[in-house]
Amino acid sequence: ESFGVSRVTVRESFKKLNSLGVVTIRQGEGTFVNRIGLDTMVKPLLSAVVLDRLNVNQIYDARLFVEVGNARLAARNRTDEELATLKEMVEQMTIAKDNYNSDAFSELDADFHEFIGRTSRNYILLTMYTTVKDILNSYIKRTNLSREAVEGSLKHHIKIVRFIEERNEVAAGLAMEEHVEFAKQRLLEQLELARK
């Protein structure tokens, strides 16, 4: 009544807010407002990106800036315990590489990058990273990594961890930049092969 709209309009609006995670609708109980965080506000970006069909270059440009920032801040802010966790992740990736277990390697790779985001201590960059990761996961179907891709990626991870250990922010950022560019090229090659 206040806004001069019908009940149907209000119901549709609440459905949209529910799909964005702003409210929760419980049949018979009512509509409840959820705690809103930055991740809730960034979620619509995922839908927009998928609908607008952004290309791989745009997605990887965003990933590059976010991940380089995360790596630099991780080098600055990491604790000894976090460094030990990163080293353990690299050891697990080495085992996956030696057994050429592409699925395990991919899973560890995603965990590695997210952990660096957490180690950065920057909630905004971490949220942006998870958004870019979700975009990549929804935009690109996962394919098996070649042996060359697994080995190259592992070498980059080792280098990134070394610079984080040394607290060398600039070198950690450059190593991450090199890694993201490598991952982008591998993906473009896979997409080209899939088209043939």
Q: Which residues contact 104 (CB under 8 A, 6 or more apart)?
A: 92, 96
- pLDDT at position 86: 98
Which of the four pLDDT bands, split at 50, 70 and 90, describes residue 51?
very low
**pLDDT tens readout for residues 54-78:** 577 888 888 999 999 999 999 999 9
- pLDDT at position 30: 86
**pLDDT tens readout for residues 25-50:** 888 888 888 776 655 555 555 555 44
The alpha-helical segments, DSSP class H, found in the chain are 7-19, 38-52, 56-77, 80-98, 102-119, 123-139, 147-165, 169-195
Nearest to 22, CA basis, from 35, 4, 11, 13: 35
Length of the chain: 196
- pLDDT at position 42: 53
pTM over 0.75: no
Residue the block writes with tokens 């991940």: 67
Tokens encoding 146: 């070649």
